Structure formats: structure tokens, C-alpha cells
Amino acid sequence: MSTKPSLTLQRRLNATPAKVFRAWTEAAQLMKWMHPDDAEVTHAELNARVDGRYLIRYLKTDGRELEVSGQYLEVLPDAKLVFTWTWRSIPEQESLVTVLLRPDGNGTLLTLTHEQFVDEETRDHHQIGWNGGLDSLERYLA
């Protein structure tokens, strides 16, 4: 069995794990920071509990609308989120995201792992998007 591509990113954020967790689990906050590439969040629904679902709708500067949704598999307040990640346009390509939050002095060490990509090109596109989103999260929490 071949291993599917994955990515892992780390950021140190100047906010407590509780504040970072809320930024990931409260729709009003997520809409303010999750801006990968040239996309703005136009709609977000988050039910951050085990078996809860989420939906995020983006509008790109070229007018295209993108939508990603999934299900929360693990929710440990202020510490861990695990959720599926499925683009509406390619529902057969479900992947898995894990966000770990660890206290680090007065801040938080965030580790994001996104795995089970269909190929390396898809992984590389998501790596660009996640880096943009995490850059925005850093600015939002500063």
C-alpha cells in the first residue's frame, strides 16, 4: 500500500491556546482570518463537536466561489481538532486535517497536519493555501 502525500506546518502564535481554539471554532472569528491565497470567506458554519459538521464558502478575486466542508472527528477544547476536508467540486477527494495546540510560554505552538491527499500537486496547492491562512491567523491574533 502506497503512502498518500501529506503536509505538516508549525506556527508559534502570540495568543493562548484557548484564544487560538476559539479562532478555529467560532464562525465569526474564522471568517476574519482564514484567507488563503486571494480568497475571502463569505460564509462559515461551524459545529465544533464530535460528529458535528462545518462548511466554509470562499470567494476568489476572479469571481469563483469555492466551498469546503467536513465533519469533526475529534474535539479537545484548547488542544486538538481533527476533521475531514472535502471540496464541493471534488467530493471523492476527502482528506484529513489535524490541528494541535500546545502552550508555549505566553503563546501557542500550532501544528497543522493535512493528510490523505490524492497526489502531490493537490498537497502543494493546499500547502500554499494553509500558509496563507496561517499568515492571516498570525496577524489576526497579534
Domain spans of the chain?
7-141
Query: 124 in helix, strand or coil?
Result: helix
Q: What mean pLDDT do residues 8-34 have?
A: 97
Average pLDDT, rounded, for the chain: 95
Q: What mean pLDDT do residues 46-70 have?
A: 96
Whole-structure pTM value: 0.95
Query: Could you give the angle at the alpha carbon of 46 between the alpha carbons of 127 and 35, nearest 5°?
Result: 35
Closest CA to 76 of 12, 26, 21: 21
Q: Is the pLDDT of residue 2 over 70?
A: no
Residue 18 has φ and ψ, to the nearest 5°, of -65, -40
Closest CA to 73 of 17, 116, 131: 116
- Report the distance separating Cα 4 and Cα 93, nearest Å: 12
Which class is domain 7-141?
A: alpha beta
pLDDT tens for each residue of 59-105: 999 999 999 999 999 999 999 999 999 999 999 999 999 999 999 99
Q: Is the pLDDT of residue 36 over 90?
A: no
Residue 29: all three cell numbers together: 472569528
